[in-house]
Amino acid sequence: MAIPARAGAAYARDRTARMRGVSRMLAVCLGLVGANLAVWGWEVVVFRDHPVLLGAALLAWGLGLRHALDADHIPAILATAWRAMG
């Protein structure tokens, strides 16, 4: 049983749209990782003579990350990601 040409074209369009969404999400993730690395590099340079402040910055970053991954934030993050994927 052959697949009609229109169905194949629709599948190709859907696949292309999904790939665009995935590449957009990958770009956002890489941008966030790059921004984090840049800020941590800056903090190491600025706080190299003040290790207590560097430790406080690491603690604040860790607590912020923990807060971002709380159970009430996960559904909002997922909804935003699915909306971005189309």
- Does 23 have pLDDT greater than 60? yes
* Interval 31-80: pLDDT, tens: 999 999 999 999 999 999 999 999 999 999 999 988 888 888 888 888 88
Angle at 47 between CA 44 and CA 51, to 5 degrees: 100
Cβ proximity of 84 and 23 under 8 Å: no
Identify the domain containing residue 19 by its residue range.
Answer: 5-85
pTM: 0.60
Q: 60 or 18, which is more confident?
A: 60
What does DSSP assign to residue 70?
Answer: S
Cβ proximity of 53 and 47 under 8 Å: yes
pLDDT at position 9 is 62
pLDDT at position 18 is 75
> Would you call 61 exposed, middle or buried from its count of C-beta atoms within 10 A (0-12, 13-18, 19+)?
middle
Q: How many domains does the chain have?
A: 1
Q: Name the band, by pLDDT with cuts 50, 70 and 90, for residue 21.
A: confident
